Structure 1
Amino acid sequence: MRYNQATRRPFDLKRSLTAGVVALLLGFQASSALAKPSEGHDWDYLQPDRDQVIASLNIVELLKRHHYNKPPLNDARSAKIFDSYIEMLDPSRSNFTAGDIDEFKAWRNQFDDFLRNGNLEPGFAIYKVQLERLRSRLQYALSLLEKGVDSFDFTVDEELLVDRENAAWPKDEAELDDLWRKRVKDEILRLKLAGKEPKAIEELLTKRYRNQLSRLEQTRGEDVFQAYINAFAQSYDPHTQYLSPDNAENFDINMSLSLEGIGAVLQSDNEHVKVVRLVPAGPAEKSKQIAPADKIIAVGQSDDEMVDVIGWRLDEVVKLIRGPKGSVVRLEIIPASNAPNDQTSKVVAITREAVKLEEQAAKKSVLNLSHEGRDFKLGVIEIPAFYLDFKALRAGDKDYKSTTRDVKKLLTELEDEQVDGVVIDLRNNGGGSLQEATELTGLFIDQGPTVLVRNSDGRVDVLADEQKGAFYKGPLAVLVNRLSASASEIFAGAMQDYHRALILGGQTFGKGTVQTVQPLNHGELKLTLAKFYRVSGQSTQHQGVIPDISYPANVDTKEIGESALPEAMPWDSIRAAITPDMNPFKPFLAELKARHDKRTGDNADFVFTRDRLALAQELAHETSVSLNEEKRKAQQERIEQRQLALENARRQAKGEEPLAKLESEDENTPHEDEKLKPEDDAYLTESGHILLDYLGLEHAMAKNNAAE
């Protein structure tokens, strides 16, 4: 392998940012001709203050000088900001009227000028109209509930359009009333079908809407400023984000892991809070009761009454979920495995605790396989995260923990057990230390670059393995999936580019950008200022790492991953840092895939995963729901029967007893003390067979060449 010396430079992200940006505020006078007043005087207290104006001018300057792309702040950017802000405030197009949107459009191409001049009033004005509209809608919903749940007729044939992303804006208040009547009716019907009594439904929804009204009245100027500035910042890319003083403090707490919680990454999803991913070895992950894409609808402390959190801000829900180590939080969730219209929920209790580094440590196991009439042993190393105990390292502790040190020890143990090859399992590994991704790569290659980082000024820095010789030279496969991200992608990409390992599984997440946090006079700006590239010159951004042989995805890649985020930066490439040797896998890939397809064509777990995802994607395309109770119940029963048929087909193929009805996912999931054996993991087992197929084909070719 050779790498380009010209691109080798020390890696220093901080060098690309100045210490700060000073904005001179000589005076601020908003144009009263442009500022649309709110209807009524209740929201007049919401006004931009001097600190926010200065912060906005700082952000304009930071993005102009230091964002990776440095796109111009012009009319085209203004239109993006406008569209993003409107979608942020009213994603389901159920509060604003067409008349509101027409009035706002007068500003569509002027937000670039407003921001450059420190004029925040148009952003505040639009937000205040949204508050007024939402207050009116919630009051209308409460007036419907005052008539009683029984006043709704569920025998009428009518439908509610639930996917309103591209729906026409309601033309007037009468259309809004009809839409909200259907929305309330839909919520009642969902709860009815989930088994709740009419009185309980009325109490729950009345309390929910009143709570939302109460929270609306508590809106702060900071809420408005954060929403508006983020519509601007996230028009550049989804990871550039303004953090208010409160959220900046939360971000710092998260980064330092100094506050205990449940170990879940959450995000807003319209009026819900959704689980994005689980922190490896965190309380939520260990509970086996929560999964990515689950929706949290209520939170309770220990034995206290549950608090309905539908419609709450993300930061408020996070505050409820956080708490001291050893305390219990109860979450009411709608599982992602439910059918789209199935609102059946479950309550899970989780004991808060800090995530211990040792629990995130790499682990080994031995996979015993019978392959083509012979018995083999393969080593498996599961790496949940790329970790490094910085504190112990800085203190000079010779026994500090790190991914690379742990994996090196595990490899030695596996070689002592005389395994025939090794599978590195990076499924669900969301990343971590970039240094560890580089050092881990160094265990498997001779010497050379591991990842390239291109900064906003076009300079390419190279991280490299300086150690000569590979620590482990044996057969290797790397198993990834859609939730393998960041440092995982850097390692997997390097293994693929050096032709050091077969990459198996699913297309990875595709996060290939670097952020830094820049303090402001008021809050902080998380700013994208660099991009990762593989040593082949290909970006990991957007596309991720494409496996040599792909397995069925267990999540919809159109819904989860970098490419699913709005304004995600594109994939591209730069000059390669190495000239790779001949690819030893290439002559065998077609045959390996053919054998894989034959083996998994009727494999119960592979078939189940494919069919379950196909059903979920089919149901996701249904844009409306019936508000007729019998039709809705029949539709739900049909979906449950299809889900049950898929589960029982899998069970029958594996010689297990069929189910009479669907069980909740956690009833089928082994608890922490019932660890699955490696042989019970279909994807791990198949990875072992592919690696053994390759070794057999390579051996046969070498034998034929020797005979010639």
Structure 2
Amino acid sequence: MFPFKSKLVAYGTAASVVFGIASYKLLETDGAVRDQKNEVLTKVLVQGLSSAHYSPERLDDNFSKKAFNLYLERLDYNKKFLLQSDVDQLMAYQTQLDDEFKSGSFKFFDLSMSIFQKRLKEAEGYTKEILEKPFSFEQEETIEVKPEKLKFATSPAALKEEWRKYLKYQALIRVADALDSQEKADTAGTKEVKKSMVEIEADARKKLKENYVDLFKRMGQLENEDYRSSYLNSFANIYDPHTEYYAPKEKEDFDFEFSGRLEGIGATLTEKDGNIKVSDITPGSPSYLQGELKPGDAILKVAQGTQEPVDIQGMRLDKAVSLIRGKKGTEVRLTVKKVDGSMKVISIIRDVVVREEGYARSLLIKGQKPIGYIHLPAFYADFKNAGGRNSGKDVAEEVEKLKRENAQGIILDLRNNGGGSLQDVVDMVGLFIKSGPVVQVKSANGPAAVLEDRDSQIHFSGPLVVLVNENSASASEIMAAAIQDYKRGVIVGSSTYGKGTVQQFFDLDQVLPASFDAVKPLGHLKLTTQKYYRVSGKTVQLRGVTPDIVLPDTYTYLKYGEKEQEYALPFDEIQPAKFNTWNSPNFSIEKLKASSKARIAASPTFSLINDSALRLKERTETSTRSLKLSSYLAEERRAQTESKKLETLRKNIPQLDLSTLKTDLAKLAGDTAASARFQAFTRNAKKDLYIQEAVSILRDGL
């Protein structure tokens, strides 16, 4: 961190000599007034990105083209505002953005905002006019739903037609939902007033009108400064998707989310391409326990209980978060677009997250040879040394508890574990090996630093299975990779996320001298400064960890993970560390793989999961949707039928014979609330198909 800070301080001192801080404004050569704060900000960003990023970009015309395309994509992701003629006008700057970025000029940005604000007013007029007339859902008509396949309209008339289809599609979804609700009410025998198709369609348009009046009102209140961070991140994200600039207010929101995310629904949200997306689910939170909201989901609407949903597309992240947060015990209904393109309404009761549910917990799977199960939702740590808990110590304690109850093998569940403390990974791997390197961490310059387990004691030497999935990321991947490289255990599940980079936050105010106080606060820069490497020398970047035994998963065939991010850093290799593989293997992986494959082939549930995954892939690759009501309903009902089949099969899965550890029974005896939560955890584990297969794999090897 120090070299970066010293470089920026040196730059800041030089800048103060060149610019002088007495004035708040500077004059460009053509006489136009430029805001000095923004000029200083961009130059500090350029210096920071160029000097401290793991893989600095060359600021040239090629870089400029990338930034231009990324900004345009984010400014009008669904291509519903700009015309092709607007894009042609902006294209004059396509190879000049690198020069503007280096000089601190915002000519292109100001021009783009001027055009965008004009088109925003026109789009508002289109929506009002279109929503005055009823939609007919009788004729066969389709809409393209993948933004990357859309083109900018060549005329106002063509753009208006795109809006007509877009609004009709949204109305169609509402009409279909209303018909579905009426059908369910009829089946349940509830006495509700049945509406005609004309009334249902009118209701749908009325609600859309209200949503769009609110949407355009919010967008009209935004100023250029609200878009500036997105513009600057069009440069930062060319370096890699995790390098970002945070304006002062955005950093406050980020800090609040990070420290205060244990309240509300327990989901960390990000804004990308005009959509509010779920980036992480807090272990033990209402979202985590409810189970339907997943990373990658886009939240389109938010409703308070039974109230009318509010459309949050295009809304600022802080405003959207304020709608989703709420008092404990209240209901929030989220309309989300899943990664496969399907729509779902998810009801979550807000609550305060119970911290214990975010910590390591274990169970004993009964049998002639008992097996221990440890669930680890995150690699948590007390970084401030304030007497808090660390995942490495907690897992060590769970291992000892399982040993006392004669566990012959252990399943370590890292599914949906997004990572955390690297030191705790080192400590945890050390529980299962004698000693040796666990992970290599490399900065842009110099050799890799090897983090080692120096404790020669092996806490558990029996068979080990590590469960992973596509949401196992970062520290989870390092843990699984180390166990795999040492041949210490069997990795089971689906390929992991593939994030092998390390980020740091830098306060831009701290790297500038006091002479720049007049233009502060400037915000923060989150920079990718290092990469992780396995002890074998390979990075987990992009490729993740491929399990030794792969199990069918809903996301198996979907494009998912770091490799799907624009401008992700590449996969590469360095020299392997010196280490000795496990010298007393417990079983033959090839035999275990063959036995597992036979079980999977004979399992109707796994077969249906695989079929569902194939259908999701097909649906994702199909980029058009029908605007004919009968066709739309037929497709939705087919999907619902298949989903119900899978739910029914899951309900009928034979249960594992699990028991709570004696130590935990004593702790839970006096706490009825904690006991109830632990019972829920046990119930879920009993019918978890993937835990069951992990148990079968271990028993094959015992």
Per the TM superposition, whether the score is higher than 0.5 is: yes
Equivalent residue number for residue 362 of structure 2: 364
Q: Say which of 128, 135, 140 aligns to 1:142.
A: 128
Report how far residue 65 of structure 1 moved: 0.5
Residues 647-692 of structure 1: CA distance to partner in whole angstroms, max 9, x if unpaired?
Answer: 556668879xxxxxxxxxxxxxx99754426442221121122223
Equivalent residue number for residue 459 of structure 2: 471
C-alpha separation in 2, matches of 1:288 and 1:582: 37
Report how far residue 586 of structure 1 moved: 11
Deviates more, 1:303-312 or 1:467-476: 303-312
Equivalent residue number for residue 628 of structure 1: 628
C-alpha separation in 2, matches of 1:323 and 1:441: 40
C-alpha separation in 2, matches of 1:481 and 1:285: 16
Q: Say which of 328, 336, 348 aligns to 1:334.
A: 336
Report how far residue 203 of structure 1 moved: 2.2
SS at 1:195 equivalent: helix
1:111 maps onto 2:109 in alignment: no
Equivalent residue number for residue 413 of structure 2: 425
1:178 maps onto 2:161 in alignment: yes
Give 1 or 2: higher helix fraction. Answer: 2
Say whether the 8 Å CA contact 1:48–1:225 is kept in structure 2.
no
Q: Say which of 36, 39, 58 aligns to 1:50.
A: 36
Q: 1:82 to 1:211 in 2, by over 3 A?
A: same
Alignment of 1:499-538 (within 5 A): 499-521=487-509, 522-538=522-538
- What are the ranges of 5 or more consecutive residues in structure 2 without an aligned counterpart? 20-24, 180-199, 510-521, 656-675
Q: Say which of 485, 496, 509 aligns to 1:497.
A: 485
Say whether the 8 Å CA contact 2:53–2:527 is kept in structure 1.
yes
> What letter is aligned with 1:328?
T
Equivalent residue number for residue 619 of structure 1: 619
Q: 1:327 to 1:643 in 2, by over 3 A?
A: closer
SS at 1:130 equivalent: helix
Alignment of 1:297-312 (within 5 A): 297-300=300-303, 306-312=309-315
Equivalent residue number for residue 256 of structure 1: 259
Alignment of 1:644-659 (within 5 A): 644-647=644-647
Equivalent residue number for residue 703 of structure 1: none
C-alpha separation in 1, matches of 2:27 and 2:137: 54
SS at 1:165 equivalent: helix
Q: 1:421 to 1:650 in 2, by over 3 A?
A: closer
Alignment of 1:218-297 (within 5 A): 218-257=221-260, 260-268=263-271, 270-288=273-291, 290-297=293-300
Q: 1:111 to 1:270 in 2, by over 3 A?
A: closer
1:161 maps onto 2:144 in alignment: yes
Say whether the 8 Å CA contact 1:538–1:574 is kept in structure 2.
yes
Q: CA RMSD in A?
A: 2.9
> What letter is aligned with 2:631?
K
1:607 maps onto 2:600 in alignment: no
Residues 587-645 of structure 1: CA distance to partner in whole angstroms, max 9, x if unpaired?
Answer: 93332221111011121332222111111111111111222223323333333344445
1:383 maps onto 2:376 in alignment: yes
> What letter is aligned with 1:99?
S
C-alpha separation in 1, matches of 2:569 and 2:434: 33
1:682 maps onto 2:702 in alignment: no
Equivalent residue number for residue 436 of structure 2: 448
1:87 maps onto 2:51 in alignment: no
C-alpha separation in 2, matches of 1:119 and 1:574: 40
Q: Say which of 213, 218, 223 aligns to 1:210.
A: 213
> What letter is aligned with 2:446?
G
SS at 2:578 equivalent: coil
C-alpha separation in 2, matches of 1:96 and 1:672: 54
> What letter is aligned with 1:333?
T
C-alpha separation in 2, matches of 1:390 and 1:58: 29
Deviates more, 1:576-585 or 1:499-508: 576-585
TM-score (norm 1): 0.84
Q: Number of residue pairs matched?
A: 639
Q: 1:671 to 1:636 in 2, by over 3 A?
A: farther
Q: 1:437 to 1:621 in 2, by over 3 A?
A: same
Report how far residue 434 of structure 1 moved: 1.5
Equivalent residue number for residue 700 of structure 1: none
C-alpha separation in 2, matches of 1:16 and 1:463: 23
Q: Percent identity?
A: 33
Q: 1:19 to 1:437 in 2, by over 3 A?
A: farther
Residues 175-205 of structure 1: CA distance to partner in whole angstroms, max 9, x if unpaired?
Answer: 1111111111111111111117233212211
Report how far residue 119 of structure 1 moved: 0.6
C-alpha separation in 1, matches of 2:577 and 2:88: 52
Q: 1:31 to 1:550 in 2, by over 3 A?
A: farther
C-alpha separation in 2, matches of 1:14 and 1:387: 26
- What are the ranges of 5 or more consecutive residues in structure 1 without an aligned counterpart? 1-12, 36-46, 370-374, 656-669, 696-708
Q: 1:317 to 1:673 in 2, by over 3 A?
A: farther
C-alpha separation in 2, matches of 1:97 and 1:617: 32
> What letter is aligned with 1:115?
F
Say whether the 8 Å CA contact 1:266–1:275 is kept in structure 2.
yes
C-alpha separation in 2, matches of 1:583 and 1:178: 68
Equivalent residue number for residue 543 of structure 1: 543
Equivalent residue number for residue 561 of structure 1: 561
Report how far residue 270 of structure 1 moved: 4.5
Q: 1:455 to 1:624 in 2, by over 3 A?
A: same
Residues 339-380 of structure 1: CA distance to partner in whole angstroms, max 9, x if unpaired?
Answer: 846x463543323x2x454331111111235xxxxx331111
Equivalent residue number for residue 10 of structure 1: none
Equivalent residue number for residue 372 of structure 1: none
TM-score (norm 2): 0.84
Report how far residue 214 of structure 1 moved: 0.8
SS at 2:110 equivalent: helix
Report how far residue 220 of structure 1 moved: 2.2
C-alpha separation in 2, matches of 1:348 and 1:562: 28
